[in-house]
Amino acid sequence: MIPRKKIDAVVIGASTGGPKALNTIIPNLPSDLGMPVFVVQHMPVGMTKDFANRLNLNSKIKVVEAKDFEVIEKNTVYIAPGGYHMEVENDNRIHLNSDPAIWGVRPAADKLFISASNVYKGKLLGIVLTGMGRDGAEGIVKIKENGGITLSQDKDSCTIYGMPKAAFETGKVDKVIPLASVVDEIINICSSTGR
């Protein structure tokens, strides 16, 4: 049972199969979700802007490719640009950097998850979706240690059960869910007490 608590932000990490999964999730989020959503999708440089634009056209919630030092707003989905790690800090702004790749990828979900966990503490929801490798697992541990809520996609609905498996094996995932349930879980958790 996931505890009912106030959530101030959502972070999502995905790789192989992620664009399809995100196309299932983001367009079905309500325009008044009441918080920012930060997404790391492993994608080459130059492809994330078009991806964000396509999602924005099909979504009720605003979707943008994140820009460095951009002010973070509620009811907006920020897609990390290819080639840059995306982090958040206590100044309520997006911070992009070209630090070395982690797990062979940049952007890396771990960078986002850990930085967001340091800012939002127990008021963060972290989700690991389909993908190869183990990016996001360390971030999930950090989110849980700081009192946040963690979800991972189930094996049957994943294109590749790598990242969610690594996250699950940390023992820090609150709930394993099929792709079809992700939107409902986000809405249920984010509309819990304290709103």
As annotated, the active-site residues are: 15, 42, 135
Distance between CA 41 and CA 13 in Å, rounded? 6
CB atoms within 10 A of CB 68: 12
The answer to whether 140 and 150 are in contact (CB under 8 A) is yes
Rounded CA separation 159/59 (Å): 23
Find the angle CA(111)-CA(147)-CA(192) to the nearest 5 degrees.
110
Nearest to 121 by CA among 93, 85, 150, 145: 145
How deeply is 49 buried, as exposed, middle or buried, from its count of CB atoms within 10 A (0-12, 13-18, 19+)?
Answer: middle
How big is the chain, counted in residues?
195
